[in-house]
Chains A and B, each alone.
Chain A
Amino acid sequence: MTAVPQRCSIFCAIVDNFGDIGVCWRLARQLVAEYGVDVTLWVDDAALVAKFLKRAQAELCEERIEGVQIGIWSSSWEPSATESDAIISSNLLIEAFACALPETLLSALGAAARVPIWINLEYLSAESWVEDHHLLASLVSLPGRADPAQKTFFFPGFTARTGGLLRESDLLVRHTLWQREEQIERQRLLTELVPALNGSLTNDLVLVSLFTYESESLGGCLAAMAQDHVPTLCLVPEGRSLSSVQRFLELPDALRVGEAAVRGALSIAVIPFLSQDDYDRLLSLCDFNFVRGEDSFVRAQWAARPLLWHIYPQQEQAHLQKLDAFLDIQGEESQRENAPQAASSMALRQFVRLWNLGEDCQELWHHLRPQLPELREQAGKWQQHLAEMPDLAANLMRFCHTRSR
């Protein structure tokens, strides 16, 4: 039996959207549920977290949510003695995405008899340098402490020499159950999310989820779906994709949650922002998922359905290197499975790349759509390949066990 930390404090500074909190929340929940760790998740934007968890802001810290205690912090925050003691007595302290801990807390750590195992959990990347940097540590000077403390960099990734990907122990079983009776589950899902469309589900319907940043490529892609001879239903959660959808629809008033619009063979429906578990179900039941950032990107891979990754855009196209690294690592695996690499996976690669360059993707979607069954098969193999590796929480617990010996 692996000894695991009893208490863990996770610090999350929310930059924008729900990506950062999404990853931290999943990790916190998994540590509680699967390892029995007492987790406090410290967040710096109570309003956003309340919206994310669908709770009233005032209730956020009152009682544990799914076993996780929420705490509120900021860069100028001065923890009370009780808060400080609770954090210092943690066996595991996680700084998510290199958020800098407040000076007051660093001083308290410096004065403590023992510094917890201190992790900087980084963003996900498939680039090869990640393997060389995973589990390297910073030596940190803490006020009043003669010996430097160690802060270990923990990199999620796609290979066994990285920290792996978040994956709850029952996730793949859940996907199998959803996908076993796909048509029935789809009907149920659509009835819940878009009651206005009830009864419109046909066997040849292409079901698409659209959760991207604003995109120049989206209009052409939706136009291709509208021109298709098979019907497509595009489910769009409220948020940033919607502005690009509105531009395509050219409606006088913006679509609201539960409403739908039809253009040719394409129906577009706006769905509410979903809980993480409901979003997993949506990904599982769609034929194609447009995802973005990190959390939805990882979840879509576990859903074993073809996906387009809209990577977080950076200045001077710095994100393209990261995108290519993922496409390469996935391409290598696909090639290993069925050499030479299938034309369908090459087409998908081209689609993903052009989308991220903001190019017109209309023709590409026409080309890609008939290949969705083959791409589904490949997505399944990719999921199985990833599932052969330990998940992120398991790797984290193993590291803590090694360090505490």
Chain B
Amino acid sequence: MIGGSPWKVQKSEFTKSGRNTAICKMKLKNLLNGMQTETVYKADDKFEMVVLEQKEVTYSYFADPMYVFVDTEFEQIEIEKDDLDAVIDYIEDGMEDVCNAVFYNDKVISIDLPNTITREIIYTEPSARGDTSGKVMKTARLKSGKEMSVSAFCEIGDFVEIDSRTGEYKSRVKR
């Protein structure tokens, strides 16, 4: 909690050098207005922690402009595209991932996906023969339209594991 607003730490990087103060560089997002900022703090600076309510939800459907999720008691939870951030790239009809809806003051402020998700490649160029090491990468498109780098041996119709926090390709999976 900073200055009356809840902020989410999206990325942090610790630095300690010689006599300099130990510092932490952080990318923060204001959970109320969505503003993002890059900041730096002394490592011993203290913050008031925000207690957020979380619920398990699954994606149901898109009713423009709201994305609708349902919780385990079949209560509908609506969230705007802007509040879905980078997660929006992995929201697809029919997805079965159990997500976390995060609430502040009874308002849903974000949806977190599992760290590892599986998505289908709907388009990629045919791979060149010979390289199966996985080190050579090429571009592939997911159902959402998101384009990402995958191993060169991946083909249309393959499923790949993705780290939802970084958006990085992890591996091809068999289904």
Interfacial residues, chain A to chain B (CB-CB below 8 A): 97-98, 120, 122-123, 125, 127, 129, 132-133, 136-142, 145-149, 153, 311-312, 314, 318-319, 321-322
Q: Which of A120, A139, A147, A321 contacts B18 (CB 8 A)?
A: A321
Neighbour of B4 across the interface among A98, A146, A311, A318, CB < 8 A: A146
Q: Tell me the complex Cα distance, A125–B21, Å.
A: 11
Q: Min CB distance, B162 to chain A, in Å?
A: 28
Q: Which residues of B contact A123 (CB under 8 A)?
A: 18-21
Can you list 28 A-B pairs with a CB-CB distance of less than 8 A?
Answer: A97-B21, A98-B21, A120-B42, A122-B20, A125-B17, A125-B18, A127-B17, A129-B17, A132-B25, A136-B38, A136-B40, A137-B40, A138-B40, A138-B41, A138-B42, A138-B45, A139-B28, A139-B39, A141-B3, A142-B3, A148-B3, A149-B3, A153-B23, A311-B18, A314-B19, A319-B18, A321-B18, A322-B19
* Proximity string of chain B (9-41) to chain A, C-beta cutoff 8 Å, 1 when within and 0 when not: 000000111111101010010000000011111
A141-B3, A141-B48 known; A129 and B19 CB under 8 Å?
Answer: no
Chain B: CB-nearest residue to A123: B20
In Å, the complex CA distance between A98 and B24 comes to 13
Give the nearest-CB partner of A137 in chain B.
B39
B4, B18, B40, B45: residue with the most chain A Cβ atoms closer than 10 Å: B18
Interface SS, A side: loop
Q: How far is the CB of A14 from chain B (nearest CB, A)?
A: 14
Give the distance in Å from the alpha carbon of A125 to the alpha carbon of B20 in the complex: 8
Decide if A318 touches B25 in the complex (CB within 8 Å): no
Give Cα distance in the complex from A142 to B3, angstroms: 7
Given A123-B19, A314-B18, check contact A141 B25 (CB 8 Å).
no
Does B51 sit at the interface, judged by CB under 8 A?
A: no
Check B2 for interface membership: any CB of A closer than 8 A: yes
Our pick among B3, B7, B18, B42 for the contact of A98 (Cβ within 8 Å) is: B42
Question: Whole-angstrom distance between the alpha carbons of A137 and B41 in the complex?
Answer: 8
Number of residues of chain B lying within 8 A (CB) of chain A: 25
Sorted nearest first, the 10 A-B pairs with minimum C-beta distance are A148-B3, A322-B18, A98-B21, A136-B40, A123-B20, A319-B18, A148-B2, A139-B2, A146-B4, A312-B19
Identify the B interface with A (CB < 8 A). 1-5, 7, 15-21, 23, 25, 28, 37-42, 45, 47-48
Further pairs besides A120-B42, A122-B20: 18, Cβ < 8 Å: A123-B18, A127-B17, A129-B15, A133-B40, A136-B25, A136-B38, A138-B41, A139-B28, A140-B2, A141-B3, A141-B47, A142-B3, A146-B4, A148-B2, A153-B23, A153-B40, A314-B19, A322-B17
Closest B residue to A153 by beta carbon equals B40
A123 to B16, alpha carbons, bound, how many Å?
12
A314 to B160, CA, bound (A): 47
Q: How far is the CB of B85 from chain A (nearest CB, A)?
A: 20
In the bound complex, how far is the Cα of B20 from the Cα of A321, in angstroms?
A: 12
A18 to B90 Cα, complex, angstroms: 57
Report how far A322 CA is from B18 CA in the complex, Å.
Answer: 6
> Which A residues lie within 8 Å of B4 (CB)?
141, 146-147
